[in-house]
Amino acid sequence: MMATLNFAAELSYNSSQTLPDEVINTQTPIILRNFISNWPLTEISQKSISDAVEYLLKFYNQQPVNIVIGESDTAQRIFYNEDFSGFNFKSLTTSMDNLLSRILQYASETKAPTLYMASTEIEKWLPGFNEDNNIVLDRDNVLASIWIGNKCRISAHFDLPSNIACCAVGRRTFTLFPPDQVSNLYPGPIDFAPGGQPISTVDFKKPDYKKFPRFKEALKNALVAELEPGDAVIVPSMWWHHVESFDDLNVLVNYWWRESPKYMGNPSAVLNHALMAMRQLPDDQKKAWKQMFDYYIFENDENSHSHIPDNALGILSPMDESNARKIRTMVLNQLNR
């Protein structure tokens, strides 16, 4: 790619085993070699991609899907157009049959357009797939999704949920960065991004080090996971990851989970509000608010409010669904003034 990078640690488990908590809760990415090599989809794909397509369509319930089509001159990179006024791809609502027939049509062509269906919930679109193609994950409210496409480069981005990304068909490389590398990845717009999340604006195939000098520092902290069919990688929450798929047909199955209840909301809402309310404050006020956030949020522990009687804690009480509703109502009222 651009430099010699470090590889993520590797462990050996299979999909029928329950992963230990210390593995699921890892703070750094871990490769799980041959984790899903016993899946029917993975085994069938070794015969031919047409067999894999036929297998997938057995489960498809004909609900429309959203696909992405990138022109052949984009070097398979999903990104913005030249002036950032739009994207270098088109979105289309169609059937999975249509997507897969196009992928087969363009197989082995050197200038094929980029085609993919972004992460789509398996249970809603491919009912029954999970019965024979699944993993054991001891977490609540796990969401299983599937990505299907051809050769493609997805720019580095982050996700709030942790996830296990299972490479079911095709080869794929993840290049992962810890959250503290955000400034060295030169993220693009927050509210206008190809997949909804901010992405790195660096082209990993040909990085412009004059324009993005700090990217060299990001690479020093990167971890690489090169996945063959049947392998998986655990991607911890908020880790940035660039994903490249290399074959005519690639299928990725993700298992997503959060360590906090859904009623707590998405922390990105806090960031969006802070952009409005705090970013242009004078420096001394920013510093004061940083200290407030440190006290109430980032350095908070069970002793922080021990001087306040329990009956007077109000929204400082331990978070539960009732308290979350109170805060949500209060914030909405403040925003609507």
Q: pLDDT in tens for each of the 337 residues of the chain?
A: 456 799 999 999 999 999 999 999 999 999 999 999 999 999 999 999 999 999 999 999 999 999 999 988 888 999 999 999 999 999 999 999 999 999 999 998 888 999 999 999 999 999 999 999 999 999 989 999 999 999 999 999 999 999 999 999 999 999 999 999 999 999 999 999 998 899 999 999 999 999 999 999 999 999 999 999 999 999 999 999 999 999 999 999 999 999 999 999 999 999 999 999 999 999 999 999 999 999 999 998 878 899 999 999 999 999 999 999 999 999 999 988 8
Residue 290: its pLDDT value, please? Answer: 97
Measure the CA–CA gap between 283 and 18, rounded to whole angstroms: 50
Q: What does residue 315 show for φ and ψ, rounded to 5 degrees?
A: -75, -5
DSSP element (H, E) containing 312:
none
Q: Which amino acid type is present at position 10?
A: E
Residue 74: its pLDDT value, please? Answer: 86
Q: Domains of the chain: which residue ranges?
A: 6-259, 263-335
Measure the CA–CA gap between 273 and 25, rounded to whole angstroms: 30
Q: Which residues contact 88 (CB under 8 A, 6 or more apart)?
A: 70, 71, 74, 77, 78, 79, 80, 81
Beta bridge partners of 301: none
Measure the CA–CA gap between 275 and 114, rounded to whole angstroms: 35
**CATH number belonging to the domain at 6-259, selected among 3.40.50.720, 3.30.70.890, 3.30.360.10, 2.60.120.10:** 2.60.120.10
Residue 133 contacts residue 253 (beta carbons within 8 Å): yes
**In residues, how long is the chain?**
337
DSSP element (H, E) containing 146:
strand 143-149
β 223-227/172-177 pair status: antiparallel
Measure the CA–CA gap between 174 and 178, rounded to whole angstroms: 13
Q: Cβ-count burial of 36 within 10 angstroms (0-12 exposed, 13-18 middle, 19+ buried)?
A: buried
Residue 109: its pLDDT value, please? Answer: 85
75: left (phi over 0), alpha (psi -120 to 50) or beta: left
> pTM surpassing 0.85?
yes
* Cα torsion 144, 130, 123, 138: sign: negative
